Structure 1
Amino acid sequence: MRKTAAAALVALGLWATAAAPAPVAVSAAPAAAAPVETVFIGDSSTGNFGIAPTRGPAGCVRSAENYPVKVVERLAPAGVRLDVRADVSCGGARIRDVWEAQSFPPSGGERAGGERAGGERIAPQEAALGPDTGLVVGSLGGNTAGVASILKQCSPRLRGAEGSMMPAEPVDAASPASECAAYFQGEGARWLAGRMAAVRQDLGRMFDQVKARSPNARVVLVGYPRLVPADTSRCLAEVPGGSEKPFADIGQDALTFLDAGVQRPLGDLMREAAEEAGATYVDLYARTGTTTGCDGARRGVGALLEGSEVSYGGHRLPWYVHPNRTGRDLQAAAVAEAIEGLLGA
Structure 2
Amino acid sequence: MRRIIGALAAVGAITAGVVATNSIASAGDQYASYVALGDSFSSASGVPNQVSLNCTRSDNNYPSLVAKELKPSSLTDVTCGGATTVDMTGLQLPTMNPPQFGALKPDTELVTVGIGGNDVPFAGVVMTCGSMGAFQPVGSPCKDHYTRGGTDRLAADIHKVGPKVGAVLDGIHQRSPRAKVLLVGYPALMPESGSGCWPAIPISAGDAPYLRDATKLLNTVLAQQAAAHGATYVDVYTSSIGHDLCALPGVKWVEGLLPTSPSAPIHPNLQGTQNQARQVLAALHR
Instruction: Sort the TM-score into its range (normalised by shorter chain).
Output: 0.7 to 0.9
Distance 1:336 1:87 in 2: 17
1:145 aligns with 2:120: yes
Q: Which has the higher contact order (CA 8 A, sep 6+)?
A: 2
Determine which of 60, 63, 68 is the counterpart of 1:68.
Answer: 63
Which of structures 1 and 2 has the bigger CA Rg? 1
Give the % identical residues.
Answer: 32
How far does residue 152 in structure 1 lie from its aligned partner after superposition?
Answer: 1.1
Distance 1:230 1:124 in 2: 36
Structure 2, gaps ≥5 residues long: 1-27
Contact 2:155 2:217 survives alignment (8 Å): no
Distance 1:326 1:85 in 2: 22
What residue is the counterpart of 2:166 in the other structure? 204
What residue is the counterpart of 2:109 in the other structure? 134
What residue is the counterpart of 2:40 in the other structure? 44
Q: Secondary structure at the residue paired with 2:73?
A: strand
Distance 1:191 1:181 in 2: 10
How far does residue 328 in structure 1 lie from its aligned partner after superposition?
Answer: 1.3
Q: 1:334 to 1:43 in 2, by over 3 A?
A: same
CA deviations on 1:238-284 (whole Å, 9 max, x unpaired) are xxxxxx82x2x221212111011x10110000000000112100111
CA deviations on 1:12-50 (whole Å, 9 max, x unpaired) are xxxxxxxxxxxxxxxxxxxx9864211000000111112
What residue is the counterpart of 1:3 in the other structure? none
What residue is the counterpart of 1:13 in the other structure? none
Map residues 104-123 of structure 1 onto 2, 5 A cutoff: 104=94, 120-123=95-98
How far does residue 189 in structure 1 lie from its aligned partner after superposition?
Answer: 4.6
Distance 2:56 2:112 in 1: 18
1:86 aligns with 2:76: yes
1:325 aligns with 2:277: no
Contact 1:37 1:83 survives alignment (8 Å): yes
Opposite residue 39 of structure 1, the aligned amino acid is V
What residue is the counterpart of 2:178 in the other structure? 216
1:272 aligns with 2:224: yes
1:54 aligns with 2:50: yes
Q: 1:42 to 1:33 in 2, by over 3 A?
A: closer
Distance 2:57 2:79 in 1: 7
1:286 aligns with 2:282: no
Q: 1:187 to 1:126 in 2, by over 3 A?
A: farther
Structure 1, gaps ≥5 residues long: 1-31, 76-80, 105-119, 160-176, 237-243, 311-318
Contact 2:133 2:203 survives alignment (8 Å): no
What residue is the counterpart of 1:99 in the other structure? 89
Contact 1:229 1:289 survives alignment (8 Å): yes
Distance 1:95 1:276 in 2: 17
What residue is the counterpart of 1:253 in the other structure? 206
Q: Which segment is superposed worse, 81-90 or 329-338?
A: 81-90
Contact 2:236 2:279 survives alignment (8 Å): yes
Determine which of 247, 250, 256 is the counterpart of 1:303.
Answer: 256
How far does residue 94 in structure 1 lie from its aligned partner after superposition?
Answer: 0.8
Q: 1:34 to 1:257 in 2, by over 3 A?
A: closer
Cα RMSD for the two superposed structures: 2.5
Q: How many residues align?
A: 254
Q: 1:194 to 1:99 in 2, by over 3 A?
A: farther
Distance 1:198 1:231 in 2: 27
Opposite residue 63 of structure 1, the aligned amino acid is S
Q: Secondary structure at the residue paired with 1:122?
A: coil
Contact 2:50 2:59 survives alignment (8 Å): yes
Q: 1:320 to 1:232 in 2, by over 3 A?
A: farther
1:231 aligns with 2:193: yes
Q: Secondary structure at the residue paired with 1:155?
A: helix
Show structure 1 runs of 4+ deviating over 3 A: 32-35, 187-191
How far does residue 299 in structure 1 lie from its aligned partner after superposition?
Answer: 1.2
Q: Secondary structure at the residue paired with 1:295?
A: coil
CA deviations on 1:170-226 (whole Å, 9 max, x unpaired) are xxxxxxx97212111225956424422331111111111111111111100011111
What residue is the counterpart of 1:116 in the other structure? none
